[in-house]
Structure 1
Amino acid sequence: MTTVAYQGEPASNSSTVARTLYPAGSELPFTSFEQALDAVTLGAADVAVIPVDNSAAGRVADVHHLLPESGLFIVAEYFLPIRFDLMAVSGASLDRLECVRSHVHALGQCRKVLREGGWRTLVSDDTAGAAREVAELGDPRHAALAPPAAAELFGLRVLRSAVEDDPDNTTRFVVLSRAAVPAPHTGEPTMTSLFFCVRNIPSALYKALGGFASSAVNLTKIESYQVGAGLNASRFYAEIEGHPEEPRVELALQELRFFSTEVRVLGVYPAHGHRRTERSG
């Protein structure tokens, strides 16, 4: 049985992804992303499911900070359509509400309904946790913005369903493992995540990335960050479309290594079908 660590509570979006990818697995919830990753590093869990990007709110977890030093590898990705319901205890009604609780990102993704209601907001650690808090409080003046499954789990009444601002709201999750299990090169769409640090010379980043352009390799993400307070060269987290064994990707990585002091492949994994749907749309 696969033990899956995630940040959040049962009925959260992370829990939904964990159950979808590992229906026979055992869930291990934590209050922070770092704790979920540590559980995998220390062997308490086999994999961790972490949300990294949301189509409306942008970056969710600082994977570019967490992943390179964790010793873990990305083995899969999953795109989850995000739905939020406004839920409260039995007997509550929209005209009696005074306060809405949820995770900070959920509150940011449901601004329209919050503005219409004029309710004050409280930030919770997790969307499903907000639903649990409302159920425990038992006050009809309080409601939660949470995934639909949370209403059933905590016995809450849905006052309004699908209140997210963007009907195409989607969060991308990655699955992290202790073992590097690169996807085989079969010709199927593949993603490669990597970490690199360029040489501290003029135009180093421009030259390091030049191979991707000349080899027609699509760079889907690049994020820079500094380590410590020094003036060391920036480090980068990047994601590309393609497999390292493809000749064009191999050439691009050779050029990247020439202008970098360090390059580490953090994962080679199948591209989720959402990418093909998004591109065709």
Structure 2
Amino acid sequence: MSSYPPLAETLVAAMSARALVDPAAAIAFQGAPGAYSHQAVREAFPDALPLPCASFEDAIEAVQSGRAGKAVIPIENSLHGRVADMHFLLPESGLSIIGEHFVRVRHCLLGLKDRETLRTVKSHVQALGQVRGRLRAWGLAPVQYFDTAAAAAAVAGEGDASIGAVASKLAGELYGLNVIAEGIEDADHNTTRFVVLARDAVMPAPGVPAMTSFNFEVRSVPAALFKALGGFATNGVNMTKLESYLRDGHFSQAEFYAEIEGSLGDLPVQRAMEELAFFTNWVTVIGSYPKSRERIAG
């Protein structure tokens, strides 16, 4: 992670050292300390040891190798949809989804002094796009950076009061920046959904509201998708997500990522999955896991 600013590197080294002492308690996440993924770890596992990783692949590998007991990975955002490549990374990881967590993304304007001293603002391109209206109203020029929290670390390290950052409140606290304004996003529904990955599946207890995630490839026959999904309708299983994607440049047969309400331990789900298998080339179940409190609350 040598590409991170020095202040972030210092935190990464300290957090990695603590995780090394007790890997089972470590929770891997992608990004610099202070990233929204870091916030998700702190909210979902307040007593855990957050382990920063340079990429999604690194965070997954940390769990695969035993350097971390779990990983918390973003899978979709209410503004930008699916996080790129998750439909490939999740099934190929060999890990299981054992939980989910929703983070309300509240962008903050961070700086060394106040808004009047700022001229430019650094952040990830998506974050800048989500606060475009506010920055324009304030007359602040956006500057793209590879990571929101790393942008905050860079601003703190550079010591130039004319440069600010858009990042989480947590990033401001970690790098000693002033929270000049909070909740500056243009849309008030900006939410990211994270999933919790572990080496071993954990089946939800009977009666616990649950979700199940899986991938499949339909057979190359007429009405294959219609027939494959018929079992969910006839067994009363609600499908909440169905996304198609293509692999290796082939356009002949689509693969799908799907989510349903219910657990593999539920008889209606078992029957629906049996019918799905009959009309597909393969099915990969990524996990059954309890619904988050946010999902249950609606």
TM-score by length of 1: 0.92
Q: Which amino acid aligns with 1:16?
A: Q
Structure 1 residues 138, 188: closer, same or farther in 2, change over 3 A? same
Q: Could you tell me which residue of structure 2 aligns to residue 122 of structure 1?
A: 143
Q: Which runs of 5+ in 1 are unaligned?
A: none
Counterpart amino acid of residue 19 in structure 1: R
Distance 1:160 1:19 in 2: 22
Cα shift readout 1:130-156 (whole Å, capped 9, x = no counterpart): 110111111122111111122222111
| 1:163 partnered with 2:166 | no
Q: 1:202 maps to which residue?
A: 222
Confirm or deny: 8 A CA contact 2:109 2:180 kept in the other structure.
Answer: yes
Measure the CA separation in 2 of the matches of 1:224 and 1:61: 13
- Native 8 Å contact 1:190 1:271 kept in 2: yes
Q: Structure 1 229/62 Cα, relative in aligned 2: closer, same or farther at 3 Å?
A: closer
Report SS of the residue matched to 1:262. Answer: strand
1:58 aligns with 2:78: no
Residues 182 and 204 (structure 1), Cα distance of their counterparts in 2 relative to 1, 3 Å cut: same
Per mean C-alpha deviation after superposition, the further-off stretch among 213-222 and 188-197 is 213-222
SS in 1 for 2:294: helix
In structure 2, distance between residues paired with 1:19 and 1:276:
21
Please report how far the alpha carbon of residue 232 of structure 1 lies from its aligned counterpart in structure 2 after TM superposition: 4.6
Aligned-pair CA distance for 1:61: 4.4
Structure 2 counterparts to residues 40-59 of structure 1, below 5 A: 40-59=63-82
Counterpart contact for 2:203–2:265, Cα < 8 Å: no
Matched, 1:83 2:106: yes
- Unpaired segments ≥5 residues, structure 2: 1-21
> Is the contact between residue 31 and residue 125 of structure 1 (CA under 8 Å) also seen in structure 2?
no
Residue identity in the other structure for 2:224 = A
Q: Does structure 2 retain, via aligned residues, the 8 Å contact 1:50–1:61? A: no
> Structure 1 residue aligned with 2:157, among 132, 136, 139?
136
CA distance in 2, matches of 1:125, 1:174: 22
- Cα deviation per residue 1:5-29 (whole Å; 9 max; x = unaligned)? 1111222221122123333322211
CA RMSD of aligned residues (A): 1.7
Among residues 214, 225, 246, which one is paired with 2:234 in the alignment? 214
Q: 2:270 aligns with which of 231, 250, 263?
A: 250
Which of 37, 54, 62 is the matching residue for 1:14?
37
State the secondary structure of the residue aligned to 1:150: helix
The answer to whether the 8 Å contact 1:33/1:61 transfers is no
Q: CA deviation at 1:235?
A: 1.3
Residue type matched to 1:190 in 2? Answer: A
| Larger deviation, residues 66-75 vs 220-229 | 220-229
- In 2, the alpha carbon distance for the partners of 1:125 and 1:182 equals 37
Measured at CA, do residues 65 and 118 of structure 1 come closer, stay the same or move farther in structure 2, by a change above 3 Å?
Answer: farther
Query: Residue 203 of structure 2 contacts residue 263 of structure 2 at CA under 8 Å; is this kept in 1?
Result: no
In the TM superposition, what whole-angstrom CA distance separates every residue of 1:114-143 from its partner, at most 9, and x where no partner exists?
221243322223221111011111112211
CA deviation string 1:194-240 (max 9, x = no partner): 11111111111111112222323211112222221234521111111
TM superposition outliers: structure 1 runs of 4+ over 3 Å? none
* Identity across matched positions, percent: 47
The equivalent residue for 2:10 is none
1:109 aligns with 2:130: yes
1:134, 1:143 within 8 Å by CA — same for their partners in 2? yes
CA contact (8 A) 1:132 1:154 kept: yes
SS in 2 for 1:143: strand
C-alpha separation between the residues in 1 aligned to 2:163 and 2:92? 41
Identify the residue that residue 172 of structure 1 maps to in structure 2.
193
Displacement after TM superposition at 1:76 (Å): 0.5
Partner SS, residue 122 of structure 1? strand
Q: Which residue of 2 aligns with 1:235?
A: 255
Contact 1:47 1:176 in 2 (8 A): yes
3-state secondary structure, aligned to 1:274: helix
Q: Which residue does the alignment assign to 2:209?
A: 189
Structure 2 counterpart of 1:98: 119
Q: Do the aligned residues in 2 keep the contact of 1:52 with 1:62 (CA within 8 Å)?
A: no
Q: Which moved more, 1:40-49 or 1:96-105?
A: 96-105
Q: Secondary structure at the match of 1:223?
A: strand
TM-score (norm 2): 0.87
- Number of the residue aligned with 2:297: 277
